[in-house]
Amino acid sequence: MLTYTARRLGLGVAIILVAMAILFSMIYLIPGDPASVALGPKATPEMIAHLRERMGLDQPVWRQFVNFVGSTLRGDLGEEALSGRPVLTVVMEQLPFTLALVFCGILWSVALGVPLGCIAAVRRGGFVDRVIGVLSVAVIAVPSFVIAIYALLIFAVRLQWLPAIGAGEPGSIASQLKHLILPSLAVGLGWVGYIARMVRASMLETLEAGHIRTARAFGLPERWIVYTYALRIAILPTVTLLGVGIGHMLSSSVFAEIVFARPGIGKLVYEAISTRNYPVVTGAVLVTTTFFVFVNVLADLVIGLLDPRVRASFN
């Protein structure tokens, strides 16, 4: 297990480094001068040159990358050029909002997807299975921003049950949760379909397994067999899927954060790219990439822990 863990962690670090190198190369290939964009139309060429120097943009790209990696290892992601605020602070202010959104999105997808998948598997080939199948594919097919806009129009504008914009009153957990319902539904609904399909397929395979037949032969209640014995095994592929799903939901959060005017990492990066605010772009992407890799390593470790065959394959 130790070798397995070390390998997964090593791979995670390598992924982060490669992702940052690609990002760094990409943002310097994008046309547009961050100093001009930041200072606006009234800035003189001297001011622009001065800001470029302060941002380190007058140095070769390779040196900027080396400086970035060096300072990152020291825990310093740099400063925003104009406000002078530490990038780490800027990113960490926004991260909890995105994590809350993604976490609630996962809750939606698991809370709805797993039972639907189980029901579809148990009622295999029947009317309920077909309805769940159609619904699953339908929610996968509809883009999350479409769901976001319709949810907003129906529940916020038309019915006025839920708020349309913002993240809720600071310090009021009820208000913040209320502001999370629609955005997290928009982010998580598509994954209800994925998880339902995945759980159904996995359950069908598991329900044919020998130990399930044995349990049935012992006369255990079917509900007990399905939800206790079969689901425990069938859920494993879903854990892996959720690891990938978190990355996807982080991407979807951009739409949700813009449509619902919520703070968050997605909106922060979107705005930072528009304004060529490179320190914030690199800082935010580094944090989210690290988070994504961490979650996937964690998912791998959980599977390794649950399934000795996976551990054995690495040993």
Q: Residue numbers of the site for other proteins (CB under 8 A)?
A: 30-34, 36-47, 50, 80, 82-85, 89-90, 92-94, 96-97, 100, 152-153, 156-157, 159-167, 170-174, 176-178, 181, 258-261, 263-264, 267-268, 271, 273-276
Which of 291, 307, 100 is CA-nearest to residue 202?
307
Q: Which is nearer to other proteins, 9 or 49 (CB)?
A: 49
Alpha helices in 218-235, H assignment, sequence order: 222-224, 231-234
State the nearest-atom distance from the C-beta of 264 to other proteins, in Å.
8
Which of 75, 70, 99 is CA-nearest to residue 88?
75
Q: Which is nearer to other proteins, 178 or 216 (CB)?
A: 178
State the nearest-atom distance from the C-beta of 152 to other proteins, in Å.
6
Count of CB atoms situated within 10 Å of the CB of 62: 9
State the nearest-atom distance from the C-beta of 91 to other proteins, in Å.
11
State the nearest-atom distance from the C-beta of 211 to other proteins, in Å.
37
Tell me how far apart the alpha carbons of residues 71 and 69 are, in angstroms, rounded to a whole number.
Answer: 6
Q: SS3 of 17, please? A: helix
Single-letter code of the amino acid located at 6: A
Q: SS3 of 221, please? A: coil
Is residue 291 within 8 A of residue 302, CB to CB? The reply is: no
State the nearest-atom distance from the C-beta of 279 to other proteins, in Å.
13
Is residue 251 within 8 A of residue 208, CB to CB? The reply is: no
Q: Which is nearer to other proteins, 32 or 143 (CB)?
A: 32
Is residue 179 within 8 A of residue 168, CB to CB? The reply is: yes
State the nearest-atom distance from the C-beta of 126 to other proteins, in Å.
32
Q: Which is nearer to other proteins, 18 or 165 (CB)?
A: 165
Q: Which is nearer to other proteins, 5 or 59 (CB)?
A: 59
User: 79 — phi, psi (to 5°)?
Assistant: -125, 150
Q: Which is nearer to other proteins, 104 or 241 (CB)?
A: 104
